[in-house]
Amino acid sequence: MAEQSWQPYWERAEENLRAAETLLRVALPLSNAATSRAYYAAFHAAIALLLARTDYRPQGSEWAHDHVQAQLNIHGIRRRKLLEAKHGPTLLYLLHHRRSADYLPRGVSQKKAEEALKLATGFLAAIHPLLEEQP
């Protein structure tokens, strides 16, 4: 199997972050859509970090949400100490809010969407400088 590159995942992370920002800036903010995009920004950033700085690869070709969360904590935080421990629960927190935004009738408030965007922005900011470094 060919080695996967981290760059397409990072590009997708940045695109999703820009989308979340845009969705909250419109005249009538789209909180549910912004929350979903904030989660996917962090999810793709986590995949980029796993590809760039660890030897973890998924079985098959798909990156399962629960596996990315677990492997980020195992490889990115506990073993290699790439990220501070405060980033450990980020994906889980954002996933919880994305599920509310996507599947529950009440959705998420604008305040929760703004919190999700802030958290995703900080997560990407922590990961970005690690991507170009050599393992």
Res 40: pLDDT:
98
Res 3: pLDDT:
67
Res 34: pLDDT:
98
Q: 117 exposed, middle or buried (CB, 10 Å; 0-12, 13-18, 19+)?
A: buried
What's the pTM? 0.95
Mean pLDDT, rounded, of the chain = 95
How does residue 30 score in pLDDT terms, banded at 50, 70 and 90? very high
Cβ neighbour number for residue 92 with a 10 Å cutoff: 14
Cβ neighbour number for residue 79 with a 10 Å cutoff: 11
The string of DSSP codes covering the chain is -PPPPSHHHHHHHHHHHHHHHHHHHSSS--HHHHHHHHHHHHHHHHHHHHHHH-----SSS---HHHHHHHIIIIIIIIS--S-GGGTTHHHHHHHHHHHHHHSTT---HHHHHHHHHHHHHHHHHHHHHHSS--
CATH code reported for the domain at 7-131: 1.20.120.330
**CA–CA separation, 51 vs 61, rounded Å?**
13
Residues 135/51, Cβ–Cβ less than 8 Å: no
The domain spans of the chain are: 7-131
Query: Is residue 85's pLDDT more than 60?
Result: yes
Res 2: pLDDT:
47
Residue pLDDT, tens place only, 94-134? 999 999 999 999 999 999 999 999 999 999 999 999 998 76
How does residue 135 score in pLDDT terms, banded at 50, 70 and 90? low
Res 134: pLDDT:
65
Angle made by CA atoms 126, 44, 101, in degrees to the nearest 5? 100
